[in-house]
Structure 1
Amino acid sequence: MEEQLYEIIKKVYDKNNRNLFTFLTGAGISADSGIPTYRGIDGIWIKGTQFHKPEEFGTYKYFKEHPEEVWQYSLFRKKMFENAKPNESHREIVEIENLLEDKFHLITQNIDNLHRRAGTKRIYEIHGNNREIKCSNGCREIVNLPDEIKGKDIDEDLTANDIELLKCKECGSWMRPNILWFDERYDEKTNKRFSALKIAKNSGILFIAGTSGATNLPIAIAETTLKYGGTIVDINTEDNLFTKLIKDKKNKIIIRGTSTETLKTIKEIFKNIC
């Protein structure tokens, strides 16, 4: 595996075009930080909340009907994310970025901010993030969640001050988390859809780590990379939808193991090449 990785990485690195090295990460990359995955056995979307299935709770429709409840859960996750620390996989990716500089891009499905806290700069958060908000009525630009609003325990209610700060100053509607819900479509403004696909088009290698490919933009990113001659490196502990996509393709490497150890190997290869 290591020899095969070295050969394809060296080949792409020496190219004059379509020579980007892009990393696509999902919730699995943050599991070692103590954040549950979404679709693993103990995942957020498998277990849901105490009272609802995720497909109904994680929607714009549900937010419009129950904004305080959704915000209560969002602030619970805010506390969980803030208490977590970037793990070794996050740090390995930062070191790879430092080696590759402009040839590096990270596309992440994660909203937990751990990649940024680890130090990654060239990052596209295609599912949004938990640190920003926008008007649910669409009248305001994306802004940071006010510092006065703190993370909460799962059974902790919003305060009157929280509610005031979470209302749009222009129209009075509720502000909402700047994340992608189940009943919404990817766009450029929030999700960097077209930017991500452009990067995929110019990627010589797409490294996929910690995501099963259960949403359509990540799959489209992989399909675009393949369409323009790039190689997919699938780094996961088990087969997934990306595996199904690439099983009959020549330009693929499938690695079954932890992301941390594989990323270390990839980093060492780049050290020898850069």
Structure 2
Amino acid sequence: MKTTLQTIIQETLQKEKRNLFTFLTGAGISSESGLPTYRGSDGIWIKGTKYHKPEEFGTFRYFSQNQEEVWQYNLFWKKLIEQATPNQGHFTISKIEQLLNKKFQLITQNVDGLHQKAGSKNIFEIHGNKQTVRCVSGCGNVMPIPLEIKSKELTEDLTEKDLELLHCQNCGDWLRPNTLWFDESYNEKLYFLNSALKSAKNTGILFVIGTSGATTLPQMLTETVLQYGGYVIEINTEENSYFFERFSRTKKYILIKKKASDALMNIKEIIEEYK
């Protein structure tokens, strides 16, 4: 397995076209930082909320009728994110970016900003970022959550000041978390749909880390990479993802059964050796 991975990396480094090293990350890479995943055994979407199923609660439709409840949940997430720090996996990806420069692309489903905290720069956040907001009426640009809004415990009520700050200063409508909900679609402006797919067409190796592959764009990315002759290398300790079930019989798919941080360190060392 190690020899095969070395050969693929060496060949991709030598290619003049379709030579991107693209990293697709999901919530699993942030689990070592203490953030719960979405669909794992400790997942937020497995547990859901106290009263609602995830596919109901995590929607724009639900938000439009229950803004305060949804914001309580998101300000609890704000607290989790503020307490989290990047782990070795995040830092190793950042170091790989420094090694590869223009041959590197990071596509993340994560909304926690930990890749940026670790130093990564060339990032497409295809599900948005929980530390940013935008007006539901679309009258302004994406912006950071106002500094005056503090994080909350899950059951902690919003204050009058919170409610004031969570409304758009331009039109008075609600601000919303700048994240992709279940009943919304990918697009280029907010979620880098076209940019991510363009990167996939030019990818020599797609490293899939910490994602079950349950959403459509990651599935499209892997299909595109394989269609254009690239490799898909999944890092997962279990054989339970969409990628394994869909591609395990494909010659250009490899599963590395290691912790993300350990596998990424090995990948970095191989790149250093051949670069």
Q: In 1, distance between residues paired with 2:169 and 2:183?
A: 26
2:47 aligned partner: 47
In the alignment, does 2:211 pair up with 1:211? Answer: yes
Q: In 2, distance between residues paired with 1:181 and 1:40?
A: 18
Q: In 1, distance between residues paired with 2:133 and 2:195?
A: 21
In the alignment, does 2:273 pair up with 1:250? Answer: no
Give the C-alpha shift of residue 144 in structure 1: 1.3
Structure 2 gaps of 5+ residues are none
Give the C-alpha shift of residue 59 in structure 1: 0.3
SS at match of 2:86: coil
Give the C-alpha shift of residue 245 in structure 1: 2.2
Q: In 2, distance between residues paired with 1:58 and 1:39?
A: 13
Q: In 1, distance between residues paired with 2:11 and 2:182?
A: 39
Give the C-alpha shift of residue 107 in structure 1: 0.3
Are 1:2 and 1:265, in contact at CA under 8 Å, matched by a contact in 2? no
Q: In 2, distance between residues paired with 1:237 and 1:71?
A: 34
Q: In 1, distance between residues paired with 2:105 and 2:72?
A: 33
TM-score normalized by structure 1? 0.98
Report the number of matched residues: 274
Q: Deviations over 1:233-261 (max 9, x none)?
A: 01112121011221221112111221111
2:35 aligned partner: 35
Q: In 2, distance between residues paired with 1:236 and 1:80?
A: 24
1:58 aligned partner: 58
SS at match of 2:29: helix
SS at match of 2:234: strand
In the alignment, does 2:216 pair up with 1:223? Answer: no
Q: Deviations over 1:61-88 (max 9, x none)?
A: 0000000110110000001011011111
Give the C-alpha shift of residue 170 in structure 1: 2.2
In the alignment, does 2:240 pair up with 1:266? Answer: no
1:186 aligned partner: 186
Partner amino acid for 2:74? S
- 4+ residue stretches of structure 1 with deviation over 2 A? none
Are 2:134 and 2:142, in contact at CA under 8 Å, matched by a contact in 1? yes
Q: Deviations over 1:15-41 (max 9, x none)?
A: 010000000000000001111110011
TM-score normalized by structure 2? 0.98
2:148 aligned partner: 148
Bigger shift: residues 136-145 or 170-179:
136-145
RMSD (CA atoms): 0.8
Q: In 1, distance between residues paired with 2:122 and 2:45?
A: 28
SS at match of 2:256: strand
Bigger shift: residues 54-63 or 139-148:
139-148
Q: In 2, distance between residues paired with 1:123 and 1:141?
A: 19
Q: Following superposition of structure 1 onto structure 2, how do residues 92-111 of structure 1 map, counting pairs within 5 Å?
A: 92-111=92-111
Q: Deviations over 1:107-164 (max 9, x none)?
A: 0000011111111111110000011111112222111111111111111111111111
Structure 1 gaps of 5+ residues are none
In the alignment, does 2:204 pair up with 1:198? Answer: no
Q: In 1, distance between residues paired with 2:104 and 2:268?
A: 12
Q: Following superposition of structure 1 onto structure 2, how do residues 113-128 of structure 1 map, counting pairs within 5 Å?
A: 113-128=113-128
In the alignment, does 2:159 pair up with 1:170? Answer: no
